[in-house]
Amino acid sequence: MKEKGWLKSYGPIILTGIVVGIAALVLTAAGNPKNMGFCIACFERDIAGALGLHSAGKVQYMRPEIIGIVLGSTVAALAAKEFRARAGSSPAIRFVLGLFVMIGALVFLGCPLRMVIRLGGGDLTAVVGLLGFLVGILVGVVFLKKGFSLGRAYPVRKSEGFMLPGVMVVLLVLLVAAPQLLKSSEEGPGSMRAFWVISLVAGLIVGLLAQRSRLCMAGGLRDAFMLRDFTLLSGFLAIWITITIGNLILGKYNLGMLSQPIAHTQHLWSFLGMALAGWGSILLGGCPLRQLILAGEGNGDSAVTVLGMVVGAAIAHNFGMAGNPDSVVDGVYKVGGTSTVGMAAVILGFVVLAVISVTHLPGKENA
């Protein structure tokens, strides 16, 4: 009976993790950038580029994975009668939080999901990001324990809940029927992509399973720290193990710090970037992947958060904040990383998050 109980508790989330891991390996094999089968931050950045919100020519493409994740969540929620249109929980603040979570992630060069994927490829620079993410989560948990709240959401008209899924459908139609209207990289990470049907199906499957299992890196760490509950975290362990095994089998595992695909060794800012992303994710109630899932379920506040992340990506590239990968120039190893503007943006992010955190504690209702 104990085994049945364990299976019922952990089975769905571990299965989701295994499927996400396999999907990431398949997408990379099919053309996505190395160690980037999925990256919510990078792919939302690519979508921002496709729409012309930024002009970084190497990172522009309408990523079907993001579209699939949102729509997969919508389908799963509707099928389970769990689609609930709701909104009203500090949407403007969530927009800004999403913006800074994205900046932090792009300084590191990956969302929490890509961080795990990089770890599965042997990229030890992601360990530094993980440590930063953990610290950011812990800071967020301190404020949760003090009673931090952005307020509850309220039921709204169904049309509100269907807005972001509807936008995703329009973006998909544009990609398939009128790609000439979108910007599309011809070199660099934006040009590396699987055939759109593969990407869309992978996204749909991940979105569906993530909605059913509530997969969330930030939530998993929060539950581990606050409740000693490792259920959600087990999903990410499953992703890491699956990708590690897959990369070993495929001969793509490269353990080390140097010359990792789309990664840099500016460790301090990897740490700080992911600390910003972790703290922001706790305040938002979920990591970037979880925000897409919630938006697919009809959560209007998460839809606004997603828009904030897209705008954050545009700002990051328009102002040169995003990290640059390490490179070899004329035989000399050149450390990449973020610019002075990027560093300032991360520090500003910490200040903004601190203000938001403090002004949303009990007794600060008039702040």
Nearest distance in Å: CB 257, another protein: 33
CA distance 206 to 211: 8
- The nearer residue to another protein, 66 or 141, going by C-beta atoms, is 141
Do 58 and 191 contact (CB within 8 A), yes or no? yes
Do 108 and 343 contact (CB within 8 A), yes or no? no
DSSP string covering 180-211: GGS---SSSGGG----HHHHHHHHHHHHHHHH
Choose the binding region for another protein from 169-177, 243-251, 285-293, 306-314 (rule: CB under 8 A): 285-293
CA torsion angle 100 101 107 113 (round to 10):
-170
231 binds another protein (CB under 8 A): yes
Query: Could you tell me which of 177, 210, 162 has the C-alpha nearest to residue 65?
Result: 210
363 binds another protein (CB under 8 A): no
Interface pick for another protein out of 11, 31, 52, 147 (rule CB under 8 A): 147
Do 106 and 84 contact (CB within 8 A), yes or no? no
Computed over its alpha carbons, how large is the radius of gyration of the chain? 19
CA distance 12 to 214: 9
Nearest distance in Å: CB 64, another protein: 24
- The nearer residue to another protein, 78 or 131, going by C-beta atoms, is 78
DSSP string covering 19-36: HHHHHHHHHHHTTSPTT-
Interface pick for another protein out of 72, 219, 261, 278 (rule CB under 8 A): 219
Nearest distance in Å: CB 13, another protein: 9
CA distance 208 to 70: 9
Nearest distance in Å: CB 125, another protein: 29
Which positions from 96 to 135 touch another protein by CB under 8 A, shown as an x/- string? Answer: ----------------------------------------
- The nearer residue to another protein, 77 or 315, going by C-beta atoms, is 77
Interface pick for another protein out of 124, 138, 142, 144 (rule CB under 8 A): 144
Binding stretches for another protein (CB under 8 A): 1-2, 5, 12, 77, 80, 82, 144-145, 147-153, 211, 213-214, 216, 219, 223, 226-227, 229, 231-232, 285-286, 290, 297, 362
